[in-house]
Structure 1
Amino acid sequence: MLGRHTAAGRRVALTALGALALTGVTSAGAAEPPPASSAAQTLGADRPPAAVLRALERDLKLKPGQAAERLVNEAEAGVRAGRLRNALGEHFAGAWLRGATSAELTVATTHAADVSAIKAQGAKAAVVKRPLTELQAVKKKLDAAAARVKTRDTPVWYVDVPTNRVVVQATKRSAATAFIEAAGVEGKGVGVRVSAERPRLLADLVGGDAYYIEGSARCSIGFSVTKDQQQGFASAGHCGSPGDSTAGSDMAEQGTFQASTFPDKDMSWVAVNSNWTATADVEGEDGQRTQVTGSVQALVGASICRSGSTTGWHCGTIEQHDTSVSYSQGTVNGVTETTVCAEPGDSGGPYVSGTQAQGVTSGGSGDCTDGGTTFYQPINPILSDFGLVLKTASAQAGTPAPEDNDAAETWTAGRVYEAGTTVTHAGVRYQCVQTHQAQGAWSPSATPALWQRL
């Protein structure tokens, strides 16, 4: 919950959110897949919080029981997609989910010979022209161009894996054409989407139930974190600058911004004083809490829920990762777009899929009356950039590993691992299936949902 006092007096629990769990199926040529339930149990997909299920049923218009079914299906699909990504290598062109309850997985490849291997893992296969690495390279050229040219009329651009292209969202087509030419990516499969929407940051200057920066601006607490035994929380970078003081919802002294990045990224973390206690809890509906158990990144199309101090608890789906947004205050790269609504004051608040932390609110358009679009800063880069450890409900050991070659080779609790990374653990080589921060209970040998033995 956000800034609520405990029975002990001024000890206040910091809140956090979580995402969906995953279940494993092997890619072609791999060892026998783990039982479908093993990954769900590891990551919490088999026991979703009631607040998550109710909100998913409400916002995604699901019948009773369908939300729980969807979370398990998303979990299984996440592992299959990760293992297929590792198996397909340079041919991999992305993965996504479709369907209200079935969460049907599609995996794209540039090589027709991969189709049978994809289907063998229970996924639909799409043969496309461009691998994901090529699409990411095109987007990076647009990112670079945004530093040289005005992007007021081209506020959003992203990798759209279902259509196998990079998309520029613009208020008018001529602006998109000029931006594409400035980046030198004409003829590179870049599409244009014309929309009048202009995303904005979601902080404001009115009072409310959240945390306050320098006694005035209001944002929402994201995820509880620790660093060298110092407790605190992650939030959005545009909420404050290093050294800015914060106060709780009752204006009681709370903490200080330790680090903040904005623009380019939208991330920060606040260290709190001894009156506050970091927990794995997140504020749900009607005062109920849900708990975070990890930070495994969800697929495009997966369900996701958000908590904020203005509008509370709302759900939707992930539209795309690796999105760039040009706000009037500056451009932010690498955020994720969702169909969840939000309003000013929700900035910094947490997103979860199931019980897995996904990110913190950056900005968006629309509102929670008529609907809207939001963007969140993924949580794993925040943990990695600032050397933070996510507070989770499950047992967790270790601090972020030092950034050196030896540490990168040996699996270490506290390090953020990207999908495809290889490590050594107990003398055995493993490849990462899902991007996540490693926990003490999540060693490669014990979590086939996250690691594939080589």
Structure 2
Amino acid sequence: MRHARRRVVRRVTRLAAVGGLVLGGAMVAQAAVAGETPPASARALTAADDPGATLVARLGPARTAGNWIGADGRPVVAVTDEAAARAVRRAGARPKVVSHSMDELKSATATLRSAPRVPGTAWAVDYRTNRVVVRADRTVSAGDWSRLTRIASGIGGFVHMERTKGTFTTRLNGAEPMLSTGGRCSAGFNVTDGKSDFILTAGHCGPAGSIWFGDKQGGRQLGRTVNSSFPGGDFSLVQYEGGKAGAGADVVAIGDGRGVRITGAADPAVGQRVFRSGSTTGLRDGQVTALNATVNYPEGTVTGLIETTVCAEPGDSGGPLFSEGIALGVTSGGNGDCTTGGTTFFQPVTKALTTLGVRLIVSAPDAGGAPGGTPSPGSSAGSQGAMAPSAASPGSSAPVTGGSEGSTLLARLTDTRNIGPGLLVIAGSLIALVATRYIRAEQDRKAYQRYYSATWG
């Protein structure tokens, strides 16, 4: 009876060991696949994917004055004559006849740019009201305000002047935190040049040569800034210390271990609902209110920015702006905070990618995610189809897989995305197999000795 029980135990142990070998092999294979560099987008989506922008390009700046997304999700195009309005209707969009063309509006912004620079001011073309809006924060003196007002009056009544609360500042101090001697910023998007991987973030976060860490103790070096543009533009590249972004490079963090898969890049449309993530305030949303905005920060002037109603605070700089899984920009600066609200400006991601000569690291078109799926890299983010802005979402959900400040050795070893757990299972299974074979051989040897001694005495 005792020998029968031993045989059963040995068989169960061998079966468990064989099963462990199979499981460990599968874990190693899965980790190897997960560790591969995600695909990079072949192209960035452009305004040509937006029917409203296509109409504006076809009719020209002398007959149009911008386009935006209406509350019902349909594109709206500002036009200056009835013939252009008919062309817009035939294309399935809604026209709005206005008094001033884009040529006139851009001429006004050019006059403002040629005037003496006043820190604490910003301006942008408001397509929906057909005017140029000039804002000044509380740091602008009464004398500078009067001079700006006289310049605006000389341009025409379509230049609107308004005071705003707070101050226009950069947000220094993926949205994962990045720390250097200059302060704290947020990681934007992961990009690649085909040889090395980088973090795309804000240019004002630090000049070329800045070293970035992922923890306050300086024990986890992320990389070094290798290219930076600020002022003028507001974008920079941080090259990863090991050269590769690793698993989860196609995901931006939105807090609580959650993330959003990024599937492409595009220019946004006015009226579009957008989402921003940052290491200070997490995930926030709002609407695009203007494009090609100019901001006179204390450090210098930045042009070509996206103006939004999304809030931001110090430390959110460089964080990603996106919608429906499409990368749109990185956080530059603004005024206000996430308690009282305010205006936030973003560097368009398409311009940064083109200037820097890099590609966005994106999810495959068939990557898993939340119900409803994610747009493929060839889909349009700017137009959002017939989707009302209020119905837009950040994109397909995904876990954040990059290393974090609070990760422990145990967590990394037990993470099924790592090869380590699979190798441990394989090693344990091999030890169990060897042990059962040794025990069986030893038992057979002793039994033979007993038999031999009883036979030959």
TM-score (norm 2): 0.64
Contact 1:157/1:166, CA 8 A, preserved across alignment: yes
Mapped partners of 1:365, 1:448: distance in 2: 27
Distance 1:242 1:448, change over 3 A: closer
Q: 2:361 aligns to what?
A: 391
Match of 2:431 in 1: none
Q: Give the C-alpha shift of residue 120 in structure 1.
A: 2.6
Report the Cα distance in structure 1 between the residues aligned to 2:340 and 2:184, rounded to whole angstroms.
Answer: 23
Give the aligned partner of residue 408 of structure 1: none
Q: Which has the higher strand share?
A: 1
Shift of 1:180: 5.6
State the Cα deviation string for residues 37-94 of structure 1 (Å, max 9, x = none): xxxxxxxxxxxxxxxxxxxxxxxxxxxxxxxxxxxxxxxxx73202312331231211
Q: CA 1:332 to 1:116, structure 2 compared with 1: closer, same or farther past 3 Å?
A: same
**How far does the alpha carbon of each residue in 1:189-228 deviate from its partner, in whole angstroms, 9 at most, with x for none?**
3221222332221112xxx9611124x5110000111124
**Structure 2 Cα separation of the partners of residues 449 and 220 of structure 1:** 25
Partner of 2:237: 269
Contact kept, 8 Å, 1:168 with 1:176, in 2: the verdict is no
Bigger radius of gyration among the two: 2
* Residue of structure 1 equivalent to 2:177: 210
Structure 1 residue 268, shift from structure 2 partner: 0.8
Deviation at 1:239, TM superposition (A): 0.3
Instruction: Return the alpha-carbon distance in structure 2 between the equivalents of residues 318 and 249 of structure 1.
Output: 33
What whole-Å deviation, never above 9, does each CA across 1:354-389 have from its counterpart, x for those lacking one? 111111111122222332321111111111111111
Distance 2:152 2:206 in 1: 32
Counterpart of 1:195? 164
User: Which residue of structure 2 aligns with residue 344 of structure 1?
Assistant: 314
Partner of 2:78: 108
Match of 1:179 in 2: 148
Distance apart, 1:165 and its partner CA: 1.7
The alignment status of 1:233 with 2:204, answered yes or no, reads no
Letter aligned with residue 217 of structure 1: G
Distance 1:185 1:151, change over 3 A: farther
Amino acid of the structure 2 residue aligned with 1:325: V
Match of 2:114 in 1: 144
What is the aligned-residue RMSD (CA, Å)? 3.4
Structure 2 residue corresponding to 1:97, chosen from 69, 82, 87: 69
Does the CA-based 8 Å contact 2:178-2:186 persist in structure 1?
A: yes
Aligned AA for 1:254?
Answer: L
Q: 2:302 aligned with 1:335, yes or no?
A: no
Residue 371 (structure 2) aligns with: none
How many residues end up aligned between the 2 structures? 328
Q: What SS class does the counterpart of residue 117 from structure 1 fall into?
A: helix
Matched, 1:324 2:276: no
Structure 2 residue corresponding to 1:85, chosen from 56, 61, 72: 56
Paired residue for 1:120, among 90, 94, 102? 90
Counterpart position of 1:163: 129
Contact between 1:141 and 1:185, CA under 8 Å: does it hold in 2?
no
Q: Alpha-carbon deviation of 1:117? A: 2.0
Q: 2:265 aligns with which of 284, 295, 319?
A: 295
Post-superposition offset of 1:230? 1.3
Counterpart CA distance in 1 for 2:92 and 2:119 is 42
Residues in 1 aligned to 2:256 and 2:154: alpha-carbon distance in whole angstroms: 49
Percent same amino acid at aligned positions?
Answer: 34
Contact 2:252 2:261 in 1 (8 A): yes
CA distance in 1, matches of 2:381, 2:143: 49
Cα deviation for residue 303 of structure 1 reads 0.4
Q: What SS is found at the alignment partner of 1:366?
A: coil
Structure 2 residue matching 1:103: 3-state secondary structure = coil
User: Secondary structure, in 3 states, of the residue corresponding to 1:359?
Assistant: strand
Give the partner amino acid of 1:89: G
Q: Secondary structure at the match of 1:277?
A: coil
Which ranges of structure 2 fall in alignment gaps of 5 or more residues?
1-30, 366-375, 384-457
Q: Structure 1 residues 82, 150: CA separation in 2 closer, same or farther (over 3 Å shift)?
A: closer
Calculate the TM-score normalised by the size of structure 1.
0.65
Deviation at residue 342 of structure 1 after TM alignment: 1.3
Offset at residue 353 of structure 1 (A): 1.7
CA deviation after TM superposition for structure 1 residue 282, in Å: 0.7
Q: How far is the alpha carbon of 1:23 from its aligned partner?
A: 12
Distance 1:312 1:150 in 2: 32
Greater RCO structure (CA 8 Å; 6+ sep): 2
